[in-house]
Amino acid sequence: MSASTRRESANIPACDLCYERKVKCDREETCENCKLAQVECRRTRPQRSLSVAERLSKLENKATQPIPE
């Protein structure tokens, strides 16, 4: 019995292709649109959770080593 196998994929962003085409992504490992287009299904866009500023500050933290007095 397959009672509506609802996957919790709400948080998964559309893949690059679907995002660019502004079409619905089925969020499979290789989504239908990518299969049809015969391209690699990728999600390389930066996640919203980490802003560029945050990433920069993290890098800065790494770069600035504690200078022994």
- Give the x-and-dash track for 4-43 against Zn ion (CB under 5 A): -----------x-xx------x-----x-xx------x--
Q: Smallest distance, Å, CB 66 to Zn ion?
A: 44
Amino acid at 45: R
- Residue closer to Zn ion, measured from CB, 19 or 51: 19
Residues found near Zn ion in the complex (CB under 5 A):
15, 17-18, 25, 31, 33-34, 41
